[in-house]
Chains A and B, each alone.
Chain A
Amino acid sequence: AQSVTQLGSHVSVSEGALVLLRCNYSSSVPPYLFWYVQYPNQGLQLLLKYTTGATLVKGINGFEAEFKKSETSFHLTKPSAHMSDAAEYFCAVRTVLTSYGKLTFGQGTILTVHP
């Protein structure tokens, strides 16, 4: 079975600063990894995903994530935070062995952006 750990339930940055949201996974087989964003009172939207191939994945709104197998990590970064990035972010994992497309989600990280 796979699992996901998001380090830090709350992250606070200043506008223009680097955003780093941490995600570590556990899986006995190669994982498929996802980052979702949830704005207040909305559903989840996909930011980016890693399936196979290039380990540096670029997503929407200037976010990117790097799959590091040796560190079992898939951290989300953005060089310069905007006020509009304030939201909750979820990391999720599945594998080729996971039936019916089920995902396992992390507990979420709330990102606050200060002016």
Chain B
Amino acid sequence: DAGITQSPRHKVTETGTPVTLRCHQTENHRYMYWYRQDPGHGLRLIHYSYGVKDTDKGEVSDGYSVSRSKTEDFLLTLESATSSQTSVYFCAISDPKMRTGSLLGGYNEQFFGPGTRLTVL
């Protein structure tokens, strides 16, 4: 299994408080992702990173920010948590396998962390 840890694994917080979730990898993979999982919605991409200090928004980025100061760490911050952000959050990693003449990522899979269950009261 890929070495991916998430912390904390469980957190209960109150509306309006800031929350930071951490994803740590030991695989030296270039790409990292944050998803949230909600019933009936599958996994939805919040933010992703394609290198140190290189991040971009996913489909549900409102209310979230990220930072990546080292290859191995990708932080997700909820600046002011709301009840709608109660969810299970997953971090994932992947690494591009360059195809000849292409700068786009290859077709390797993503590896997932164990998840963080966040409850906002």
Binding site for B on A (CB under 8 A): 6, 9, 32, 34, 36, 41-46, 49, 51-52, 90, 94, 96-103, 105-108
Give the nearest-CB partner of A51 in chain B.
B107
Give the nearest-CB partner of A99 in chain B.
B104
Binding site for A on B (CB under 8 A): 4, 31, 33, 40-45, 48, 50, 56, 58, 90, 92, 94-96, 99, 102, 104-115
Task: State in angstroms the CA–CA spacing of A65 and B105 once bound together.
Answer: 23
Task: State in angstroms the CA–CA spacing of A9 and B19 once bound together.
Answer: 31
Task: State in angstroms the CA–CA spacing of A30 and B50 once bound together.
Answer: 23
Whole-angstrom distance between the Cβ of A80 and the nearest chain B Cβ: 26
Query: Known contacts being A101-B31, A102-B33, is A42 close to B104, with CB within 8 Å?
Result: no
Chain A residues, Cβ within 8 Å of B94 = 101
> Contact between A90 and B43 (Cβ–Cβ < 8 Å)?
yes
> Contact between B104 and A97 (Cβ–Cβ < 8 Å)?
yes
